[in-house]
Amino acid sequence: MSDNITFTIDGVEVKARHGETIIEAADRAGIYIPRLCYMKDLIPHGSCRVCTVMVNGRPQAACTQPVVQGIVVENNTPAMQKHRRNLIDMLFVEGNHFCMFCEKSGNCELQAMAYRFGIPAPKYPYMFPDKDIDASHPDIFIDRNRCILCGRCVSASRDVDGKTAFEFAGRGPHKKIAVNAEANLGDTNAEASDKAMSVCPVGALMKKRIGFAVPIGSRKYDTKPIGSEIESSTRK
Amino acid sequence: MSENLGTFIKNVCHKYKKDKTRLMDIACEVQEQFGCVSGKAMDLIAGEISIHRVEVENLVSFYAFLSKEPKGKIVIRLCNDIIDELNGAEEVAKAFSEELGIKVGQTTADGKITLEYTPCIGMCDQAPAAMVNDVIVTNLNSDKARKIAHSIKKHGDPSKLSAPLGDGNNANELVLSMVNNNIRQKGEVIFARHEQGAGLTKALSLSPVEVIRDIKTARLRGRGGAGFPTGMKWEFARQATGTNRYVICNADEGEPGTFKDRVILTECPDLMFEGMTIAGYAIGSETGILYLRGEYAYLRAFLEKILSNRRKNGMLGKDVGGKKGFNFDIRIQMGAGAYICGEETALISSCEGLRGDPKTRPPFPAQKGYLASPTTVNNVETFCCVARILDKGAPWFTEIGSQGSPSTKLLSVSGDCKKPGVYEVPFGIKVSDLLKMVGAEDTAAVQVGGPSGQMIGPADFKRTICYDDLATGGSIMIFNSTRDVLRIASKFMEFFVEESCGYCTPCRTGNVLLKERLDRIIAGKGEPSDLDYLQELGESVKVSSRCGMGQTSPNPVLSTLKNFRGQYEKLTKRSKDGLMQSFDIKAAIADAEAIAGRPSEKFSLNS
């Protein structure tokens, strides 16, 4: 299909295809809209709200909002960046994130996002919630302290692996990832080779025994900020 | 027991044709029978209707009236909204607690009775109130609470608690409730005498497009609070592509302080069902759903009877009202304790047998709603207006009320006034006139539109209630000068924290943070800079939340910051020693002082 829709992001003209979301069109145009829950090829969840942009003056999540001819999108503005920084802060304080001894450090999208936004420490008070770890599975573990409820594993397990090994349980601040068993991941049919095991943006759903296979210093975001892979891409 | 459980679940699932979209109903029936939906029950249900067990848990863990852990055969749910609290809910809780020998949140040792809190149950005009299973008990005090606890322990039959019976249909043999309607003022639209069925007959003599045209001409806007033009909604639903279309009536009246739909459901259900039927005709739907909040389960049998009467009279079913080819029927979907289900896409999720998470928009319900089909969701009161517009004509409707907001509005008035209850008033009424009408004196603050609305002070009492000024779904809570506005705001924030579905970051976490800082200020440990902190945080929640609930959830803080700033400023004076108010230096150095064996020279106790 051809790029027959034209709209602007921060004044820059972007071409898009009918049916595309704002974030998809922006990615192809090499414009980075910060995001955490969104992952290409999964159904957009629209839960982290980090990709919130103004569309004709109204806030919308770029990952779920379809492009429309002529819309004016505000992305990298002081107001939107402020809200994003606040959302990232919220994600840090609602969980228990200890980057200095987390095996995901350097590959973690939440950590990388904080660095991109120049957040040395969240401005909100830590909640220090009581969360648990499920290490019952021989090859995988869940550390709910680090979960940001992005829904990627839920979607990947359901829509790609066809297993529905994960779903959300509870509501409000008590919402958490549950597994398709009475209590333990080890009692589900989840496997390390599942798509669901490779989508977690943080260190919540991890494969065992490979945590430090790639040393800190040589990891994905150790040298380049998150989003640079999109900003440096040329238009496809 | 487990064999029993297995047979029961088999039968229930069979009753719902193993349809996974009826999981709500299945789970509710299991909960009612066994006091919980246990892990074992989840496995069995999942097996019967061919879904994953975690999907059952996903639903059960969401609704307040469903639980994985066993609850008593009798569950006493004490309403703890602000109006109940100001009317002595705490005393009532204490009495129940003492008489039952358990704390709120616990179940008696014999496993028979559970005592817990629940947010607004739609009885603010007769607070404090509670639910004993489905039975509503009102105007409680500690004596009454003790008697109720005592008799429940003795006979275990909540239905024996409903004496004396309330007015109107509350005394109907299928309701038998002590709830009172408290209709204080009847207007020309909803509570006026009307000929039953006149609106539907008129509608069926027109084409569906003409019906929609009439609703548009009448400039009818949604009565739930958001105020979306009803005719436009119907037009979108009619024009959208799809084989099936659905009409849903939102009777999940959960906004604290609102209870007018309760009164419509009790006194004018036919008018509402008539409006739904007209909507069905207008958009080309064969199926209507009344989504009834779990708190109003006491009205269910009565409403089912009304529906069956309508079927008998040819007002539902095949060839409705004698109109060849127009088939329409209505089922009732029970809710199970979730404020968020009043949000239309969350309500649709709930009707589909899912947890009440709002859906991603677009697509909008009119394009892809219930079961991905074009759907219109309208408020109870809106449907009543529809039937009246068709009966009396659009010009009649627009003559009442104000220029921008035609017709009347039902207001649920509660709090510090002599005559709490339901008032049908023309749009455009001044707040000060309303306060006079309801017998409110020494009013310091009015919460217009419930916690998601605005808290206004006397400076705004000259403003009017209508879509262009103070818009409201109908909740009016009145507070006199002895009440603490910030504490009320904190109570509202507690409500939003409890009721957030947890889907998006700002609503799930931002509200917890707003409440934390507000409470810090109330405790006298706030800083002047906390006001900006609250403002910025509140704005972030407003801008970035995913649904209407999240977008309005910071309003208790934002509207009091705007209208009652003085209260905040009084509490956030800079401390004399230059330290943060929330930092207790003496407590911080106590250990060091003990080790040193002497008091600090700089921060000694007498400084």
Alpha carbon B319 to its chain centroid, in Å, reads: 35
- Domains of chain A plus CATH, in order, are 5-76 (3.10.20.740), 87-209 (3.30.70.20)
ipTM of the complex: 0.97
- CA-closest candidate to residue B310, choices B291, B329, B284, B283: B329
CA distance, residue A214 to nearest chain B CA (Å): 31
Confirm or reject contact between A68 and chain B (CB < 8 A).
Answer: no
Distance CA A84, CA A52 (A): 8
Please identify, among B60, B84, B110, the residue that sits at the C-terminal boundary of a domain. Answer: B60
Residue B43: is its pLDDT beyond 50?
Answer: yes
Tell me, yes or no, whether B263 and B347 share the same domain: yes
pLDDT (mean) for B293-301: 98
Across chain B, mean pLDDT equals 96
State the smallest CA–CA distance between residue B19 and chain A in angstroms: 19
Give the one of B361, B505, B516 whose C-beta lies nearest to A91's C-beta. Answer: B505
Nearest by CB: B54 against A50, A82, A179: A179
pLDDT tens-digit profile of B423-448? Answer: 999 999 999 999 999 999 999 999 99
Arithmetic mean of pLDDT, B267-280: 98
> Is B603's pLDDT higher than 80?
no
Distances (CA, A) of B354 to B21, B327, B346: 7, 27, 9
pLDDT in tens, B197-206: 999 999 999 9
Q: Which residues of B touch A52 (CB under 8 A)?
A: 543-544
pLDDT in tens, B89-136: 999 999 999 999 999 999 999 999 999 999 999 999 999 999 999 999
Nearest CA-CA partner of A235 in A4, A2, A27, A63: A27
Residue B283 has pLDDT above 80, yes or no: yes
Which candidate, A69, A64, A91, places its Cα nearest to that of A15?
Answer: A69
Task: State the pLDDT at residue B226.
Answer: 86
- Domain span holding position B417: 409-483
Whether B47 and B124 map to the same domain: the answer is no
Q: Tell me what pLDDT residue B152 has.
A: 95
Domain boundary among B60, B84, B105: B60
Best to test chain A binding among B50, B51, B54 (most A CBs inside 10 Å): B54
The proportion of chain A whose per-residue pLDDT surpasses 90, expressed as a percent, equals: 96
The band of A236, judged by pLDDT with boundaries at 50, 70 and 90, is very low
Are B196 and B321 part of one and the same domain? yes
Alpha carbon distance A83, B542 (integer Å): 10
B553 and B587 inside one domain: no
A-interface mutation test, from B63, B508, B533, most A Cβ less than 10 A away: B508
Nearest CB to B54 within list A61, A83, A164: A164
Chain B residue set in contact with A, beta carbons under 8 Å: 39, 52-55, 57-58, 61-62, 338, 355, 360-362, 497-506, 508-510, 512-513, 516, 536-537, 539-540, 543-546
CB–CB contact B502 A48 (8 Å): no
| B30 located within any domain | yes
Predicted confidence (pLDDT) at residue A114 exceeds the cutoff of 60: yes
End-to-end CA distance of chain B: 68
Return the pLDDT at B604.
65
Per-residue pLDDT reduced to its tens digit, A57-110: 999 999 999 999 999 999 999 999 999 999 999 999 999 999 999 999 999 999
Q: How much is the pLDDT for B2? A: 54
Measured between alpha carbons, how far is B212 from A209 in angstroms, rounded to an integer? 64
A94 touches chain B (CB under 8 A): yes
* Contact status of A180 with chain B (Cβ, < 8 Å): yes
A180 → closest Cβ in B52, B501, B545: B52
Q: For A12, list phi and psi in degrees, rounded to 5.
A: -90, 130
Which chain B residues are closer than 8 Å to A181 by Cβ? Answer: 53-54
Contacts of A219 (CB under 8 A, 6+ apart): A105, A106, A107
Write the pLDDT tens digit of every residue in B245-269.
999 999 999 999 999 999 999 999 9
Q: Band of the pLDDT at B605, cuts 50, 70, 90?
A: low
**Minimal Cα–Cα distance from B357 to chain A, Å?**
9
Q: Tell me: do B441 and B346 sit in the same domain.
A: no
A198 contacts A89 by C-beta, under 8 angstroms = no
Q: Is residue B66 part of a domain?
A: no
CA-to-CA distance for B468 and B224, rounded, in angstroms? 15
Cβ distance A168 to B39 less than 8 Å, yes or no, reads no
pLDDT tens readout for residues B18-37: 999 999 999 999 999 999 99
Structure tokens at B574: 């800079």
Is the confidence at residue B1, as pLDDT, over 90?
no
- Residue among A93, A149, A169 whose CB faces B57 most closely: A169
Does B382 reside within a domain?
yes
Strands, sheet with B113-118, edge to edge from the N-terminal-most edge strand: B113-118, B74-79, B130-132, B135-137
Same domain, B357 and B439: no
Which residue's entry shows tokens 């959830």? Answer: B553
Q: Are residues B38 and B85 in the same domain?
A: no
Give dist(CA B343, CA B345) in Å, integer: 6
Residue pLDDT, tens place only, B578-594: 778 888 888 889 999 99
Residues in chain B with CB shorter than 8 Å from the CB of A46 are 360, 504, 546
Q: Does B361 share its domain with B313?
A: yes
The pLDDT of residue A116 is 97
The verdict on B395 and B354 lying in the same domain is yes
The per-residue pLDDT for range B461-491, each reduced to its tens digit, is 999 999 999 999 999 999 999 999 999 999 9
The confidence band for B577, taking pLDDT boundaries of 50, 70 and 90, is confident
Yes or no, beta carbons of B544 and A59 under 8 Å apart: yes
Query: How high does pLDDT run on average in chain A?
Result: 96
Give the pLDDT band (50/70/90) at residue A234: low
The pLDDT value given to residue A1: 58
Tell me, what's the pLDDT at B583?
83
Task: Read off the DSSP letter of residue B262.
Answer: H
Within 8 A of B362 by CB-CB distance, chain A residues are: 65-66
Q: Minimal Cα–Cα distance from B504 to chain A, Å?
A: 4
Last residue of a domain, one of B456, B483, B510: B483
Beta bridge partner(s), residue B573: none
Looking at the structure, tell me whether residues B461 and B584 fall in a common domain. Answer: no
Q: Is residue B174 part of a domain?
A: no
Please tell me the distance from the alpha carbon of residue B548 to that of residue B408, in angstroms, as a whole number. Answer: 24
Q: Evaluate whether residue B173 is within a structural domain.
A: no
B501 and A171 within 8 Å at the Cβ level: the answer is yes
User: How many structural domains comprise chain B?
Assistant: 6
Same domain as B434, residue B349: no
Q: What is the CATH number of the domain that holds B508?
A: 1.20.1440.230
DSSP A140-171: EEEEGGG-----HHHHIIIIISS---EEEES-
Find, in chain B, the residue whose alpha carbon is nearest to that of A60. B544
**Pairwise CB contact (< 8 Å): A167 & B360:** no
What average pLDDT does this structure show over B62-74?
96
Q: Using CB atoms, which residue from B61, B362, B539 is nearest to A170?
A: B61
CB-based contact, A46 to chain B, within 8 Å: yes
Q: Is B572 helix (H, G, I), strand (E, B) or coil?
A: coil
Kindly report the CATH number assigned to the domain that includes residue B436.
3.10.20.600
For residues A154 and B503, give the distance between their C-alpha atoms in angstroms, rounded to a whole number: 13
| Same domain (yes/no): B497, B477 | no
Strands A140-143 and A133-134: antiparallel
Provide the Cα torsion A48, A50, A53, A54; round to 10°.
Answer: 80
Q: For an interface test with A, which of B520, B540, B542, B549 has the most A Cβ atoms less than 10 Å from its Cβ?
A: B540
In a domain, B557, yes or no: yes
Asked if residue B168 is part of any domain, the answer here is: no
| Closest-CA distance of chain A to residue B500, Å | 5
pLDDT at A22 over 80: yes
DSSP 3-state assignment of B319?
coil
Alpha-carbon span B255 to B259, nearest angstrom: 9
What pLDDT was estimated at residue B580?
81
Q: Least CB-CB distance to A175: which of B55, B502, B536?
A: B502
User: Has residue B180 been placed in a domain?
Assistant: no
For residue A172, the chain B residues in CB contact (below 8 A) are: 497-502, 508
Residue range B400-411: mean pLDDT, rounded: 95
